[in-house]
Amino acid sequence: MSHDKPSFAVACPVRSVCDHHARVFAEIGRLQGHYLGTRRGAEGIPESLSNRFPVIGLLSYAAAKISPNYGEAAKVACFPLFDAWVKRQTPAGTAVFSSYGYAVETFRKARATGGFTLLDGGNSHFAHYWRVVSDEHARWNCELPPFPRQWHERGLRSLELTDWVFSPSSYVARSFIEEGFPAERVLHLPYPVNLSHFSPEPNTDLPASPLRVVCTGGVTLRKGFPYLLEAMRIIRKERDAVLMLTDIVHPSMKPILANYRDIPIEWAPMLPPDKLAARLKSAHVFALLSIEEGLARTALEAIACGLPVVLTPNTGTSDFVQPGINGEVVPIRDATAAAEAIVACYERRLAENITPDTAAIASTLSFDRFRERLLEHLATIDSQT
């Protein structure tokens, strides 16, 4: 067993959570290079270690502008070009860190030349993701795949070449283990999240009625919005209630929304953090019934604002829910359970007239805590490579 500590190449065509890992690798002197398909580098990465291939970003942007319906497919079509560029830049034996499908051939080179590979499991195992979201689309007669098939194929190939996975949530970890990935090689590593704009203060004095339920982020099938709409209909059989949504609606959801015109919805555009925090605090309960999500940032922001949350286990953020205290966790695709949980959170909030303690979540998700966890995992990896 070698006692040399390898350097890491971090490869992602877009700015992402992988930037945080690259920053830690740079701080400890173990970043071989940070590879991006963008014009600008990432905060905390020395210019000498920042390698950029902006043609990738320009091609993706141009294709999306020309044909908006195929923007994501155009982005995926650029992955092999990005991968080939990174492969040429990385020395033999370099350890490579990337995510699903971005650096398949670079992973292959790393393994063939004495290096190893690490994957950011930002969502569940790609086989699981594809299966559960495809099933959801079929339920609602949506013919679109969960994401471009080429990405699915490349993602599965990258998984075959992955030695270690960083998982942001127990949901993601379970999906890998259920697909046969060794449990000891799935390392728990929630992302750092800046919650400085999100806190219970100043407190918002809400009238008891109507019951106001908020969900921020895009309205899609993957995020379980048909079940939230049905839960609101169940709630409104007994009390006045309003749903607060963000006006970013996927085309597959529009005919479903048309069937719920009886549900009063307050729409809002995408908001900057300070205004988003105020909108969150103008609701009694936050609800997100996702079918698949690695770690839902929107729910973390709601928890930090002191809102009780109703989540499914498939949001990832359910790891931060203390049932009966700061929210409830309900099964996916169960509108009745969601309705009951929303009402329970609402009634508990009115009866107790207190805001849950939110101080711990900001500390748990700080960059310092992320660094500590990552260094602990690197010690484990170093001891076994």
Domains of the chain: 8-192+366-384 (3.40.50.2000), 211-359 (3.40.50.2000)
Residue 102: pLDDT band (50, 70, 90) is: very high
Measured CA to CA, the distance from residue 238 to residue 234 in angstroms comes to 8
Mean pLDDT over residues 95-100, rounded? 98
Start-to-end CA span in the chain (Å) = 7
Residue 58: pLDDT band (50, 70, 90) is: confident
Dump pLDDT digits (tens) for 144-154.
999 999 999 99
Mean pLDDT over residues 169-196, rounded? 97
Torsion from C-alpha of 356, 360, 365, 370, nearest 10 degrees: -160
Percentage of the chain with pLDDT > 70?
Answer: 96
pLDDT of the residue at 186: 98
pLDDT of the residue at 318: 96
pLDDT of the residue at 63: 64
Tokens 């929303």 belong to: 342
pLDDT of the residue at 68: 57
pLDDT of the residue at 376: 97
Dump pLDDT digits (tens) for 247-277.
999 999 999 999 999 999 999 999 999 999 9
Dump pLDDT digits (tens) for 315-326.
999 999 999 999
Residue 3: pLDDT band (50, 70, 90) is: very low
pLDDT of the residue at 356: 66
Phi, psi for residue 336 in degrees, rounded to 5 = -65, -45
Tokens describing residue 46: 């020395």
Residue 358: pLDDT band (50, 70, 90) is: confident
Name the strand (E) or helix (H) holding 369.
helix 367-384
Percentage of the chain with pLDDT > 90?
Answer: 86
Tokens describing residue 92: 């033999």
pLDDT of the residue at 379: 96
CA proximity to 316, closest of 170, 146, 122: 170
DSSP-derived 3-state class of residue 368? helix
pLDDT of the residue at 66: 63
Mean pLDDT over residues 284-303, rounded? 97
Mean pLDDT over residues 79-106, rounded? 96
Strands (E), the chain: 8-12, 31-36, 50-52, 95-98, 117-120, 164-167, 186-188, 211-215, 241-246, 265-268, 285-288, 309-311, 327-329
pLDDT of the residue at 304: 95
Dump pLDDT digits (tens) for 130-141.
999 999 999 999
Dump pLDDT digits (tens) for 13-24.
999 999 999 999
User: What's the whole-model pTM score?
Assistant: 0.94
Res 239 pLDDT > 80: yes
Measured CA to CA, the distance from residue 44 to residue 174 in angstroms comes to 32
Looking at every residue in the chain, the average pLDDT score rounds to 93
Residue 70: pLDDT band (50, 70, 90) is: low
Measured CA to CA, the distance from residue 246 to residue 271 in angstroms comes to 9
pLDDT of the residue at 353: 63
Mean pLDDT over residues 212-235, rounded? 97
